[in-house]
Amino acid sequence: MTRTKVAIIGSGNIGTDLMIKVMRTSQHLDMGAVVGIDPDSDGLARARRLGFTTTAEGVEGLIALPEFDEIGIVFDATSAKAHQHHAARLLPHGKRLIDLTPAATGPYVVPAVNLDDHLDAPDVNMVTCGGQATIPVVAAISRTVPVRYAEIVASIASRSAGPGTRANIDEFTETTSAAIVEVGGAERGKAIIVLNPAEPPLIMRDTVFALVDAPDGEQHEEIRRSVERMIGEVAGYVPGYRLKQQVQITPVDADQPVHTLLADGAPRPTHQVSVFLEVEGAAHYLPAYAGNLDIMTSAALRVAERIAARKAGQP
């Protein structure tokens, strides 16, 4: 079987976990190189111990490597600002980019929702950890009834938020909010992230709140079934992804000030849907509580696997 060589830019938590996943679980990918800017980083040291090619000279060091021409896919696990530079340098060389930052220079991809729509895109964006966890649920609801407004809250352990995550907080809210609409199908969207300092650290928890037009009980059951099917699809590549409790559907109270969340002059929705999720990490490299990072690397790996399989002529 023809396998595709990959490079990972970023030797922090996300990049290192992705390296371990490629090495241990990938069917279609081989590690080509790990790229960082700190020669003493744990990620580069671990990659060297495993026998992988490394460079601490950033994207220019990657381009200078003898193996560069053999690399077909590059994962970017750095920052939104850095990805813009990386894309400008790598796309002219014909590399396929999978962007794990909130840069959003390419189309948003959430594997369970729209992967097949963007398999030919040169640079795909993995939205954010909160987006990967919640947008499938928004999409599952919007496939059954109109979603007038969707709001997501992603609560992650403070310990699992490294420098890159903290530097990208603004981009997180903007990118996730936009993807709730573009990929999830909601008319309007909003995203909130909470860095929970609790000790011992808590695993990732996500809440999806949606205002919908679903006046009868049969539609409520359709919503629940659609959400449960979607949970199963995401769990196929993120095993620790699960519902925390049954999907809740309640009438919108006449006194509830939902008008501030809707387009001007829009009629009131009939019901609100609340979905509570939990994401436990696979602990390949990161602790199990770091489900926010695990869901990003798992989703990115899913995309790369599909691209590589297609290149090899497999379905």
Residues in binding site for NAD(+): 11-14, 160-168, 292
Structural contact between residues 7 and 32, judged by C-beta atoms closer than 8 angstroms: yes
Q: At what angle do helices 217-235 and 129-142 cross, to 10 degrees?
A: 140
First to last CA, the chain: 13
Structural contact between residues 98 and 41, judged by C-beta atoms closer than 8 angstroms: no
Helix (H, G, I), strand (E, B) or coil at 218: helix
Helix (H, G, I), strand (E, B) or coil at 129: helix
Dihedral angle at the C-alpha atoms of 219, 221, 222, 224, nearest 10 degrees? 130
* Residue 242: how many other CB atoms lie within 10 Å: 14
Distance from C-alpha of 35 to C-alpha of 55, rounded to nearest angstrom: 5
Helix (H, G, I), strand (E, B) or coil at 180: helix
Q: Which one-letter DSSP state was computed for residue 167?
A: H
Burial readout 248-285 (b: 16 or more C-beta within 10 A, e: otherwise): ebeeeeeeeeeeebbeeeeeebbbbbebebbbbbbebb
Catalytic residue, candidates 18, 22, 129, 133? 129
Cis peptide before 163 (omega within 30 of 0): no
Distance from C-alpha of 103 to C-alpha of 178, rounded to nearest angstrom: 12
Quote the distance between the C-alpha of residue 71 and its chain's center: 23
200 included as an active-site residue: no
Tokens (6 digits) for 28: 């279609």
Give catalytic residue positions: 129
